[in-house]
A = this chain, B = another copy of it.
């Protein structure tokens, strides 16, 4: 049911039945490596293009999530997925392989929680017994499409972020012992006029804040409700801006519980500049590291606020600023 203007409460308590995270060599070298289900040494995955490699990451994440849940592909009623590639070819071609009913989504890096929110709504509304939600990104494929091919060796400013290579997937179903997906807040597009594609974190921070505000306003809930509030890929720059903006708006968030998947995934590695990004950033950190902490009992109530920068190279070339969005999903053990 709808609470407030933009928050969904899942009163039938859909369950996050199983999930999986797959990463590449750079993710394997990071502090969360033990939380991945599979890590590849080769960013090509034996394919002849980065795009095809990304599709394989996504297929593997889906296969693992299905298998870990003791299910078969045929059990899945609907597959929801999004990615950064033009016409979301990673998702569409993975959907061809998986062969189940498919709804393609695009929310840039917010696609991870967009797919989980809609999957949960469909399960809650009894339109699916099993819904599969996923998202993927690939560093080299994203660099080629959005910036410069990495072979050019172009310099980057310190506000730049590093696109995660990998994919995350989750199966949502209508019954079980939890963890439960309890609510979702659908974000509005927020654009503060930033047009620098090397400062995505700064551009996206106001969208994250807008959605966090809406979530707590709609649910009339205190900021101390959650054990962890994790944004998707704001990185160092965006995380600081978001913290400041929340304080300005009277939402004094405890710094111990407020974090960002883009800060967690690579730790202090200076090579990633301001932190991780890409659809796979929040997808792999949530479905790997964070859900493992939930399963261990370290976290009981979490809010994932996946952020997305909805630009295209074309919109940037046409001097448009960057419209941003954030979708939040709460998961409770």
Q: Is A246 an interface residue (CB 8 A)?
A: no
In the complex, chain B residues whose CB is within 8 Å of the CB of A78:
6, 186
In the complex, chain B residues whose CB is within 8 Å of the CB of A87:
84, 86, 106, 108, 310-312, 315
In the complex, chain B residues whose CB is within 8 Å of the CB of A114:
103-104
Chain B residue nearest to A93 in the complex (CB): B323
User: What's the minimum C-beta distance from A29 to chain B, rounded to whole angstroms?
Assistant: 29
Q: Is A165 an interface residue (CB 8 A)?
A: no
Chain B residue nearest to A98 in the complex (CB): B189
A88's contact among B49, B52, B89, B106, by CB below 8 Å, is which? B106
In the complex, chain B residues whose CB is within 8 Å of the CB of A108:
87
Chain B residue nearest to A74 in the complex (CB): B5
The interface on chain A, measured as residues whose beta carbon lies within 8 A of the other chain's beta carbons, has a size of 57
- A127, B5: Cβ atoms under 8 Å? no
In the complex, chain B residues whose CB is within 8 Å of the CB of A92:
189, 310, 323, 325
A8 touching B186 in the complex, CB below 8 Å, given contacts A82-B106, A312-B87, A323-B93: no
Q: How far does the alpha carbon of A231 sit from the alpha carbon of B6 in the complex, in Å? A: 33
In the complex, chain B residues whose CB is within 8 Å of the CB of A310:
87-89, 92-93, 95, 104
Q: Is A128 an interface residue (CB 8 A)?
A: yes
In the complex, chain B residues whose CB is within 8 Å of the CB of A311:
87, 89
- B93, A2: Cβ atoms under 8 Å? no
A93 touching B315 in the complex, CB below 8 Å, given contacts A82-B106, A87-B106, A103-B105: yes
Q: Is A118 an interface residue (CB 8 A)?
A: yes
A186's contact among B84, B89, B103, B318, by CB below 8 Å, is which? B103
User: What's the minimum C-beta distance from A238 to chain B, rounded to whole angstroms?
Assistant: 19
Q: How far does the alpha carbon of A92 sit from the alpha carbon of B129 in the complex, in Å? A: 31
Chain B residue nearest to A144 in the complex (CB): B314
In the complex, chain B residues whose CB is within 8 Å of the CB of A313:
86
Chain B residue nearest to A312 in the complex (CB): B87
Q: How far does the alpha carbon of A127 sit from the alpha carbon of B7 in the complex, in Å? A: 8
Q: Is A188 an interface residue (CB 8 A)?
A: yes
- A107, B106: Cβ atoms under 8 Å? no
A2 touching B129 in the complex, CB below 8 Å, given contacts A87-B310, A95-B323, A121-B122: yes
- A49, B318: Cβ atoms under 8 Å? yes
Q: How far does the alpha carbon of A125 sit from the alpha carbon of B120 in the complex, in Å? A: 11
- B96, A191: Cβ atoms under 8 Å? yes
A2's contact among B105, B128, B188, B325, by CB below 8 Å, is which? B128
Q: Is A187 an interface residue (CB 8 A)?
A: yes
Q: Is A99 an interface residue (CB 8 A)?
A: yes
A–B pairs, 15, beta carbons within 8 Å: A2-B126, A6-B101, A86-B313, A89-B310, A89-B311, A92-B189, A92-B325, A96-B323, A101-B188, A103-B105, A103-B114, A103-B186, A104-B105, A104-B310, A118-B118
Excluding A85-B312, A87-B315, A89-B315, 20 further A-B contacts by CB distance (< 8 Å) are A5-B77, A6-B78, A8-B127, A49-B318, A51-B314, A52-B318, A86-B86, A93-B320, A95-B323, A96-B189, A102-B188, A102-B189, A103-B107, A103-B118, A104-B105, A104-B114, A118-B118, A121-B121, A121-B125, A121-B127
